Each structure stands twice: as C-alpha cells, then as structure tokens.
Amino acid sequence: MHFERAVVTGGAGFLGSHVCTELLRRGTHVVSVDDFRTGSPGNLRDVRDDPSFELLVADVAEPFDVPGTVDLVLHLACPASPADYLRMPVATLRTGGFGTLHALELALGKGARIVVASTSEVYGDPLEHPQRETYWGNVNPIGPRSVYDEAKRFAEALTAAFHTEHGARTGIVRIFNTYGRRMRAGDGRMIPTFLRQALAGETLTVHGDGHQTRSLCYVDDLVRGLLAMAESEHTGPVNLGNPDEITVLDVARLVIEVTGSRSGIRHVEPMVDDPRRRCPDIQLAQRLLGWRPRVSLRDGLRAMVDTADRALAR
C-alpha cells in the first residue's frame, strides 16, 4: 500500500524523525507536527529541504489542522523518556489525552488511516511473561511513572472508542524498548546513558541489582513494523519489540565491550516502580504483519557507535 500524504505527530522526536525519513524514501509526502518540547530540529536536518516534507510547529494538545488531503496519520507525539515525563507530568497527560483526541479527529475528518503509538508501559510491572496483547497489566495509577503509563492507556481507550463509535480506521501498536541513532545524551533511557558514560570513560550506573530484564529493538526494525501496521487494516493492539530478553547488567557489559571502553559498573538505587521483567510476545505481529526484528543488539550498538552518535560522549 502506498500513502500519498502522511501526518506524523512528534515528527522531530527520536522515533518520529526516523519514520519521516522512511516515509519520504517510500515516496510519501510528509507533514511533521512538533512543538520541539522534547524533539529536536537537528533530527530533521536530512529531510527539511526535501520538497515533499512540511513542518508544522504546533502543540498537539491544542487543536490543530493540516490543510489538504491526508491518507495516513501516525500519532507518535508524547514525552517518552523518564527524564522528560517526570519533568513534565501534566504535559505528558495532556498529550496522551487531548493530543490523541486531536489526532483522531484529524484522521476521522480526512478519512485517513491512523496508527496510535502506545507502549509496553501499559503492562506496568507485569505478572505475565512474556507479555501478550491480551494481558491487562499491573500498573500503579499514582506512582511517578503513572503519568506516562496512564496517558498511553487512556490513548488506547480513546482510540478504541473512535473506532467503535465513529468507524475510524484506527490501529494501536504497543512499542517496547527501542534504541538507535538520534537518541539524546540526556534522554534518561538506558542505552544512551550507558553509551555516553562508556564513550566518556565514566563508570556505568546500573539501577538496582541489574538483573531486571529488557528487550531492545533497533529503530530501523521498529519503523518497519510500525509502517507494516499502517499498511494493514488491523485495529490492534499489536506488540512491536524484540523478544530477545537481556538483563540490564548484561546490556552494560555489552556496551563496554562494543565501545572498547575501560569503564567499570556501579550499582545505584533502584528506580521506583521499575519493571523487573519486560519482554514482548510478538506472535500476533508475526502472523498479522509478517514482521519480526532483524538487527541484533550487538549490531545495533555498533551502528550507534560508528555514526555521529559519538556526540553522546559530549
């Protein structure tokens, strides 16, 4: 399926900018909507002069319009790193609520397919492992992470309601830990933090005992899955992530190995409500979308180190 004109909310963010690049490569006209609260103009440097690219500076939590025809909306806007959503809890909830409402209204008015980016955080600290889409989650609704968790849970409910009540062409993807080029050094997430510390020769800081697990998907794989969902008519939710589970401590060791750093590892206080295990069941994505990740963690880390992301050390 070919999309003529797509709107990408959060288009200047880490994931959104990669989505814009890939859509343009596929011949789609792209409108990026971002207020640069957490996104960066630098993420768009490779596409901003493309005649098929438009930039709309706007806060999606406020009503916005995109004149002209649109046949795809990808709603990716939302602070996603702990450093951001803990600093902007109300803005995070507004984006998850009002931002999703406005994106859905835009798609409905245009008759466009819309895919809303949810997160593995809707599963909380899971009691089921690996996590399937049928699992309802174990979430603390008033904990420090809840502003992100509940923003996404509400976004899913609102998306499902638009499909049921208005017949909107909706899809929901639950994105697990994703990493790759263009992550900010101060992002607060594990991979950029470990890489910055290793490249600078600093001690890597592991929260808690490091035996908590994550499943890390390289951004190119994630974008491929996201667009496969867009090209389908499935409503979801569908998990997108890497089913290869690894401990945080082993991630730190691998980062040291890949960077050739002499850094050591130091354990610090565990994060509040930090999930002990996180791993997606991706059977649904494999069956419905024909998708699974291809890039190993080692190769993905090497790609980050071998590119301009050495700036992480600064």
Q: How many CB atoms lie within 10 A of CB 306?
A: 11
Contacts 24+ apart (CB under 8 A), 94-99: 94/61, 95/60, 95/61, 95/151, 96/148, 96/150, 96/151, 96/152, 96/154, 96/155, 97/61, 97/151, 97/154, 97/155, 97/158, 98/60, 98/61, 98/62, 99/9, 99/60, 99/61, 99/75
Instruction: Determine, yes or no, domain membership for 270.
Output: no
Instruction: Determine, yes or no, domain membership for 252.
Output: no
pLDDT of amino acid 85: 87
Instruction: Determine, yes or no, domain membership for 299.
Output: no
H/E element, 72? strand 72-75
| E-state strands within 19-61 | 29-34, 53-57
CA-to-CA distance for 156 and 289, rounded, in angstroms?
Answer: 20
Q: Over the chain (314 residues), what is each successive 10-residue block's mean pLDDT?
A: 96 97 98 95 95 97 97 95 88 96 98 97 92 93 90 98 98 96 84 93 92 94 98 97 95 95 91 79 97 97 78 46
Instruction: Determine, yes or no, domain membership for 46.
Output: yes
Instruction: Determine, yes or no, domain membership for 151.
Output: yes
**Contact (Cβ atoms closer than 8 angstroms) between residue 176 and residue 168:** no
Q: Which residues contact 306 (CB under 8 A, 6 or more apart)?
A: none
- Collapse the DSSP code of 53 into the 3-class scheme (helix H, G, I; strand E, B; otherwise coil) and give the result: strand
| SS3 per residue for 185-250 | CCCCCHHHHHHHHHHCCCCEEEECCCCCEEECEEHHHHHHHHHHHHHCCCCCCEEECCCCEEEHHH
Instruction: Determine, yes or no, domain membership for 257.
Output: no
Residues listed for the chain: 314
Instruction: Determine, yes or no, domain membership for 255.
Output: no
* CATH number of the domain within which 37 lies: 3.40.50.720
- Order of strands across the sheet with 238-240? 53-57, 29-34, 5-9, 72-75, 113-119, 170-175, 238-240
Residue from 85, 148, 179, 218 carrying the catalytic annotation: 148
pLDDT of amino acid 314: 43
pLDDT of amino acid 5: 98
HSE-up of residue 272 (Cα within 13 Å, Cβ side): 8
Q: How many CB atoms lie within 10 A of CB 185?
A: 17
Tokens standing for residue 255 = 């980062």
* Percent helix, percent strand, percent coil in the chain, to nearest 5: 40, 20, 40
pLDDT of amino acid 313: 43
Instruction: Determine, yes or no, domain membership for 89.
Output: yes
pLDDT of amino acid 273: 67
Q: Is 313 exposed, middle or buried (0-12, 13-18, 19+ CB in 10 A)?
A: middle
CA-to-CA distance for 241 and 176, rounded, in angstroms?
Answer: 5
pLDDT of amino acid 186: 75
Question: What is the domain count for the chain?
Answer: 1
Is-catalytic flag, 135?
no
Q: Is 273 exposed, middle or buried (0-12, 13-18, 19+ CB in 10 A)?
A: middle
pLDDT of amino acid 309: 47
Structural domain that includes position 32: 5-181+216-243+278-294
pLDDT of amino acid 168: 98
pLDDT of amino acid 276: 80
